Amino acid sequence: VRELGLLEHASEGQVLNYIGGEFVPAQAGRWLEDLDPARNRRIASIPRSESSDVDDAANAASEARRGAWGQSGVGERADLLEAVADKIEARLDDFARLESLDTGKPFALARSVDIPRAVANFRFFAGAVRHQSTGCHSMANALNYTVRKPVGTFGLITPWNLPLYLLSWKTAPALAMGNCVVAKPSELTPLTASALAEVFSEIGAPAGCFNLVHGLGAEVGQAIVEHEDITGISFTGGTETGKRVAATAAPMFKKLSLELGGKNPSIVFADCDLEKTVEGVVRAAFANQGQVCLCGSRILVERSIYDQFSAAFVERVRELRPGDPQQGDTNFGALISLGHRDKVEGYAKLAAEEGGEILCGGKRPELSGDLAEGAFFEPTVVAGLAPSSRCSTEEIFGPVVTLHPFDTEAEALEIANGVRYGLAASVWTNDLTRAHRVSEAIESGMVWVNTWLLRDLRVPFGGMKDSGVGREGGRHSLEFFSETRNICIQL
């Protein structure tokens, strides 16, 4: 990072916290290493912060709420979000490089999806807050009107798979509604959050409205969730961590949104457009090396086309070749860490033990030079496993998917709904009536028909069952990041 000069404040390769408008190290002066997973080499150091650093950030936020930020109007806040969007867009390549180095995802993907989406998030919520309205309910002798006020300070805790994409998805509506923010990105992917802090600094955002504290989940994340002055938590991450967050935040009556794990089905019916379906299901399975919470990792295929589909699917998957994420033509990058690669590899081994047949992948690719040290794993397709097997029900969160034949719509639904998760699904059919019927019967927060991850930022986003609580997106985010209050006037 120092050699590339991508982070101005980190000229010595030491990324800093951003608290009260200042870049500062952790009070205790401790550091963590930030690695490029494609080469397993250190690219920066980040502060290993503690609860005292969270105290500082929460105090800075409270100060900002008592100051000019607390008095700001909707127009001013929308202008600020647009200024942030413009600055990120102007540094698109820098942001994409940082994201790719930190995550191991292809630079081309970060440049075409992650960073443009962060820009869109800021622009979208600037527009949404400008256009929001609240209700008025008249009675014969009284008038009710509803107002939305800031909640206070929000802790935003985000995972490593879509670092800036998800941080901006929370930061933009939180600020739009007049709250302050204490953000903690995953310690594995701190860089674009720090670049975002530089943007807030450059545009002269009021000190303390956006604060960033780097460090470990068990230390900084937990301290944020426990902090008395942090009145709301928006958490995206794994289901087990989500449970801990909920157990801490619920007795404190914090506003809480939990976007958790998934084990999403892609359901392929015989009447689908096979070519488009194969293309779509491959993308759903392996986008970002299978490390998107929405990835379709259980592929259910109507038996009459099962052989034809699986042959075409595997042929297409073989075109995904792990390679250097920094090269423009790489279509499959590294996983987030060696530890995660080992976990994914463990599932590929388990698949064989559970009686599955590995149709492709199942091993580390042979890469040369320093990439040989990286966290790579081949895209892997497994057939022949029972839908109730561990590989078919546990979230792997990597490039390992399972194929399952089904005979009837009812059987497809039984398999689809037979897991603890309920985040997203995709249905592939040309029968419109079936598409409606199946989509409504799938237990998941989101269903795509003949597509995957087609996003309109206005629609509700979130999961059911063990995939989370609450919805974000459009007016749902504006409602979550505010207190809706009713005022009744006797006329």
What does the binding site for ligand NAP look like in residue numbers (CB under 6 A)?
Answer: 157-162, 184, 186-188, 216-218, 221-222, 225, 236-238, 241, 244-245, 259-262, 293, 395, 397, 423, 463, 468
The residue among 77 and 184 lying less far from ligand NAP, judged by its C-beta, is 184
The CA distance from 357 to 297, in Å, is 16
HSE of 38, CA atoms in CB hemisphere, 13 A: 23
The residue among 190 and 405 lying less far from ligand NAP, judged by its C-beta, is 190
The residue among 222 and 477 lying less far from ligand NAP, judged by its C-beta, is 222
The residue among 88 and 260 lying less far from ligand NAP, judged by its C-beta, is 260
The residue among 148 and 184 lying less far from ligand NAP, judged by its C-beta, is 184
Reduced 3-state DSSP string for the chain: CCCCCCCHHHCCCECCEEECCEEECCCCCCEEEEEECCCCEEEEEEECCCHHHHHHHHHHHHHHHHCHHHHCCHHHHHHHHHHHHHHHHHCHHHHHHHHHHHHCCCHHHHHHHHHHHHHHHHHHHHHHHHHCCCCEEECCCEEEEEEEEECCEEEEECCCCCHHHHHHHHHHHHHHCCCEEEEECCCCCCHHHHHHHHHHHHCCCCCCCEEECCCCHHHHHHHHHHCCCCCEEEEECCHHHHHHHHHHHHHHCCEEEEECCCCEEEEECCCCCHHHHHHHHHHHHHHHHHCCCCCEEEEEEEHHHHHHHHHHHHHHHCCCCECCCCCCCCCECCCCCHHHHHHHHHHHHHHHHCCCEEEECCCCCCCCHHHHHCCCCCCEEEECCCCCCHHHHCCCCCCEEEEEEECCHHHHHHHHCCCCEECEEEEECCCHHHHHHHHHHCCCCEEEECCCCCCCCCCCECCEECCEECCECHHHHHHHCEEEEEEEEEC
Tell me which of 50, 99, 259, 345 is the catalytic residue.
259
Nearest approach in angstroms of CB 149 to ligand NAP is 26
- Check if 22 is active-site: no
- Check if 488 is active-site: no
The residue among 162 and 413 lying less far from ligand NAP, judged by its C-beta, is 162
Nearest approach in angstroms of CB 472 to ligand NAP is 8
The residue among 238 and 460 lying less far from ligand NAP, judged by its C-beta, is 238
Residue with tokens 């998107």: 292
Nearest approach in angstroms of CB 39 to ligand NAP is 20
Nearest approach in angstroms of CB 117 to ligand NAP is 13
Task: Provide the β-strand partners of residue 402.
Answer: 298, 382
The residue among 48 and 316 lying less far from ligand NAP, judged by its C-beta, is 48
Tell me which of 180, 272, 293, 391 is the catalytic residue.
293
Nearest approach in angstroms of CB 310 to ligand NAP is 25
Nearest approach in angstroms of CB 3 to ligand NAP is 25
Nearest approach in angstroms of CB 40 to ligand NAP is 18
Residues whose CB falls within 8 Å of the CB of residue 440, separated by 6 or more in sequence, listed in order: none
Nearest approach in angstroms of CB 415 to ligand NAP is 20
> Are the CB atoms for 29 and 228 separated by under 8 Å?
no
Give me the active site residues, please.
259, 293
